[in-house]
Structure 1
Amino acid sequence: MNLIEFPEDWHSALVVVAHPDDVEYPGAAPIARWTAQGKEVVYLIASRGEAGLGGLPPEEAGKIRVEEQIAAAAVVGVSVVEFLDHPDGMIEYGLGLRRDIAAAIRRHRPELVVIGSHRELSGNGMLNMSDHRAVGQAAIDAVRDAANGWVFRDLAEEPWSGVRHLALLGSPDNTHAVDIGEWFESGVKSLLAHSVYLDHLGTKPNEVEAMLRKFSTDVAAQFSGRPGVAFEML
Structure 2
Amino acid sequence: MTDSNLPPLQPMPADWQRALAVVAHPDDLEYGCSAAVASWIQDGREIAYVLATRGEAGIDTLAPAESGPLREKEQRASAAVVGVRVVEFLDHRDGTIEYGISLRRDIAAAIRRHRPELVITLNHHATWGSGTWNTPDHVAVGRAVLDAAADAGNRWIFPELAEQELAPWNGVRWVAVANSPNPTHAVPADRGLEQAVLSLLEHRAYIETLTDEDPETYVRRFLTDSTSAHSARFGGKPAVVFELFSR
Residues of 1 paired with 2:234 and 2:44: CA distance? Answer: 24
Residues of 2 paired with 1:95 and 1:232: CA distance? Answer: 24
Residues of 2 paired with 1:206 and 1:123: CA distance? Answer: 23
Partner of 1:163 in structure 2?
172
CA contact (8 A) 1:177 1:219 kept: no
Secondary structure, counterpart of 2:206 in structure 1: helix
Structure 1 residues 90 and 52, CA gap change in structure 2 (3 angstroms): same
Partner of 1:218 in structure 2?
229
Which residues of structure 2 form unaligned runs of 5+?
Answer: 1-5
Secondary structure, counterpart of 2:147 in structure 1: helix
**Offset at residue 166 of structure 1 (A):** 1.1
Partner of 2:32 in structure 1?
26
TM-score, normalization by structure 1 = 0.98
**Offset at residue 123 of structure 1 (A):** 3.6
2:92 matches 1:83: no
Residues of 1 paired with 2:118 and 2:224: CA distance? Answer: 26
Residues of 2 paired with 1:7 and 1:62: CA distance? Answer: 35
**Offset at residue 165 of structure 1 (A):** 1.3
The within-5 A match list for 1:69-148 is 69-148=75-154
2:218 matches 1:207: yes
Partner of 2:238 in structure 1?
227
Secondary structure, counterpart of 2:120 in structure 1: strand
Residues of 2 paired with 1:13 and 1:201: CA distance? Answer: 30
Partner of 2:196 in structure 1?
187
Which residues of structure 1 form unaligned runs of 5+?
Answer: none
**Offset at residue 26 of structure 1 (A):** 2.8
Worse-matched range after superposition: 168-177 or 214-223: 214-223
2:18 matches 1:45: no
CA contact (8 A) 1:110 1:163 kept: yes
Worse-matched range after superposition: 122-131 or 61-70: 122-131
The root-mean-square deviation of aligned C-alpha atoms, in Å, is 0.9
Residues of 1 paired with 2:229 and 2:147: CA distance? Answer: 31
Aligned residue identity for 1:198: I
Residues of 2 paired with 1:211 and 1:197: CA distance? Answer: 15
Q: Deviations over 1:119-173 (max 9, x none)?
A: 0112443111000000111111111110000110111200000001111011100
**Offset at residue 105 of structure 1 (A):** 0.3
Q: How many residues matched?
A: 234
Worse-matched range after superposition: 116-125 or 193-202: 116-125
